[in-house]
A and B are shown apart, each in its own frame.
Chain A
């Protein structure tokens, strides 16, 4: 397959770029922040996104989606990265849908996939328990009780966890923290009795949640996939989500470069346009190169994700490279903008904040560089 967007994907890209520029410019995120909005995103926007088909890109047509696949999902994520559009897209349409698809029973799929695609139900994944990503470190316990299970423990940094309707929880049914075996996935209602949800306002003005499970009782039908083998189903879905996160990071990097180049073309000092200074030209050209190289890693990974099978190596490559590049792009954007880049009034600050949150989400550069090495056999 050619490593470029096909006609259909190119069309989706143009549609998405236009849609988010029009419906969700950075000013929307700024207003949500200034209003201290408790949802953290515009429900109207999310509804419009669903009508555009963006919530169902990973859901097949029989379940009300478009089945567009991961390249399409990445294209839309990149467009969202460019305007920092806030929505439960990543939590629900990407992570939620791919985990349900990978681990859900037929009944769970029938219940959840159409509702995810229509935007009616927001699903999220509760995975990390500490400040550092690592699914195998899961300690939250699920014990057999009364024909079902009882969940006890803590989950942190759950994207959109404060508003999600359903939470997919990675829990330990056997073994101890650090072991891959013995982990299982459960579908839990956010309003379940014994589940305490605390909203966490993050640096990027988006909301995550801390979730305390105080003996939350669920039925046997809440189990997703095979007990004790949750990681087998989760890993592929999580890897695909990582690639889509990398695509959003790519959008952030590209937007930072574009804003910076525009500034260099307009700003005058010493009586000349500062873009004529070689010191700045070379910084911008190096950044351009890093972004192009990241773009290739991300597109390749998205294509492999669509092809099916094990994408771990590609996911870690894309997430590591896109994270490193986004760090460079956001830092360089502030430096090249000078003082104005430090002001809240200017938008660059929103980009660096969102970038760091996404860089860290589902494993940062070091996590993925280490995993890339391990998967490469060293």
Chain B
């Protein structure tokens, strides 16, 4: 038996023994997602147990090195773990910005001490992170951010305001872009720093969105002290890390996994006549959408294979972000059409408090957050097509 085959059998047996039955169905909504953190309220004992067991093997972050709380798995082993989890429909034990954003940045730019300090707590779901990037006057033009960090010897004194900070009101720590040099050009005076959201002088205020939800906050810093050892990379070189993370985020937003095919929802709602969707106009629109969606899915596959073969993803991630988010908006417009008036109920049991409508509204932000569609098109035009400035 090959090593990988043995790994698969052992993994299968371990999952069989350790994944609680209630964790073996897909997450239905926000309440089923385990974000971790100091103040996280577990939905059930099973949810807690599942996190602890997976974390004990380092499998919340399977490919991170063991010394930082990861599983130390190779790409092939990680793929097998994913397959075996899908086989029993096991839920992800932990979702967090620490895992898919800060972690990769620390692994690439952090010191050994910073990795030892922060990564294991991410892996165990003990600390929940948020991202302090956008400011009221620095949205698409992120590099013009003005939150100030003054060097005070062994700490930085931070003053300013962030906006669109995802779940800042629930987060324990923040990774934050601050200006450390006001005389430098705008890209060169920025630093990347970490600090505790419980520090004196930090306050947050949720922003209510058109969906009725408040996933984002305004975040205020008033004489906040941030320990110097938590500055990642070199001072004034934070933009390099920010760019790396944005690329990472864009790829993530464009690649949101495979949702239920639109046609399956439509078949369910509209029914078939002679094997075809009963609404011929919608059938045409759905086919057009699914042709694009399937082609896009293969584009993600191609991009990953290219990256594996040593190709540089570079600005291609802007294309994935642009195309993926526009597709998702289109998908939700079609879901609205497929469900008719039912999709527009806002409150009540029947609609699970307007879940379809609220999800549809949420997608409108897809092409704004993480760099707008227009910014992505600018990047493609300049960096790939090399059009003049």
Interface residues, chain A, with chain B CB atoms under 8 Å away: 2-4, 261, 264-265, 272-273, 275-276, 278, 280-282, 284-286, 288-289, 292-297, 299-300, 317, 320-321, 324, 369-370, 372-374, 376-378
Tell me if B301 and A3 are in contact (CB < 8 A).
Answer: yes
Given A296-B302, A374-B276, A377-B267, do A276 and B295 touch, yes or no (CB 8 Å)? no
Whether B30 is near chain A, meaning CB under 8 Å from some CB there, is: no
Tell me what chain A mostly uses at the interface: helix, strand, loop, or mixed.
helix
Question: In angstroms, how far is the closest chain B Cβ from the Cβ of A2?
Answer: 4
Contact with A along B302-335 (1 / 0, CB 8 A): 1001101100000010010011000000000000
Which 10 A-B pairs rank lowest in CB-CB distance, beginning with the nearest? Answer: A281-B381, A285-B380, A296-B298, A297-B295, A296-B299, A285-B377, A373-B287, A275-B387, A2-B305, A3-B302
Question: In angstroms, how far is the closest chain A Cβ from the Cβ of B276?
Answer: 6
Q: Which residue on B lies nearest to A261, using beta carbons?
A: B385
Question: In angstroms, how far is the closest chain A Cβ from the Cβ of B360?
Answer: 21
Question: In angstroms, how far is the closest chain A Cβ from the Cβ of B318?
Answer: 9
Interface residues, chain B, with chain A CB atoms under 8 Å away: 261, 263, 266-267, 272, 275-277, 283-284, 286-288, 290-292, 294-296, 298-299, 301-302, 305-306, 308-309, 316, 319, 322-323, 374, 376-378, 380-382, 384-389
Tell me if A378 and B301 are in contact (CB < 8 A).
Answer: no
Tell me what chain B mostly uses at the interface: helix, strand, loop, or mixed.
helix
Tell me if B266 and A378 are in contact (CB < 8 A).
Answer: yes
From A3, A289, A293, A372, contact of B287 by CB (8 A): A372
Tell me if B377 and A281 are in contact (CB < 8 A).
Answer: yes
Given A2-B309, A289-B322, A373-B276; 19 other pairs, CB 8 A cutoff: A4-B306, A273-B388, A275-B387, A284-B385, A285-B380, A289-B319, A293-B295, A293-B296, A296-B296, A297-B291, A297-B295, A300-B302, A317-B291, A317-B294, A321-B292, A370-B287, A376-B287, A378-B263, A378-B287
Counting chain B CB atoms within 10 Å of each CB, which of A3, A285, A297 scores highest?
A285
* Cβ contacts under 8 Å, B284 to chain A: 369-370
What are 18 pairs between A and B in contact, CB < 8 Å? A2-B305, A265-B386, A273-B388, A276-B387, A281-B385, A282-B378, A284-B385, A285-B385, A286-B377, A294-B295, A300-B302, A317-B294, A321-B292, A369-B287, A373-B286, A376-B263, A378-B272, A378-B286
Tell me if B387 and A284 are in contact (CB < 8 A).
Answer: yes
CA distance A294 to B309 in the complex (A): 21
Q: Which residue on A lies nearest to B378, using beta carbons?
A: A281
Question: In angstroms, how far is the closest chain A Cβ from the Cβ of B285?
Answer: 10
Given A281-B381, A321-B291, A378-B272, do A265 and B387 touch, yes or no (CB 8 Å)? yes
Tell me if B295 and A321 are in contact (CB < 8 A).
Answer: yes
Tell me if A278 and B378 are in contact (CB < 8 A).
Answer: yes
From B275, B288, B381, contact of A374 by CB (8 A): B275
From A281, A294, A376, contact of B387 by CB (8 A): A281
Tell me if B387 and A264 are in contact (CB < 8 A).
Answer: yes
CA distance A376 to B272 in the complex (A): 13
* Cβ contacts under 8 Å, A293 to chain B: 292, 295-296, 299, 323
* Cβ contacts under 8 Å, A281 to chain B: 377-378, 381-382, 385, 387
* Cβ contacts under 8 Å, B387 to chain A: 261, 264-265, 275-276, 280-281, 284
Given A288-B319, A289-B322, A293-B295, do A265 and B388 touch, yes or no (CB 8 Å)? yes
* Cβ contacts under 8 Å, B283 to chain A: 373, 378
Q: Which residue on B lies nearest to A318, using beta carbons?
A: B295
Tell me if B308 and A373 are in contact (CB < 8 A).
Answer: no
Tell me if B288 and A297 are in contact (CB < 8 A).
Answer: no
* Cβ contacts under 8 Å, B319 to chain A: 288-289, 292
CA distance A374 to B263 in the complex (A): 11
* Cβ contacts under 8 Å, B272 to chain A: 378
CA distance A294 to B295 in the complex (A): 6
* Cβ contacts under 8 Å, B323 to chain A: 289, 293
Tell me if B377 and A378 are in contact (CB < 8 A).
Answer: no
CA distance A164 to B291 in the complex (A): 35
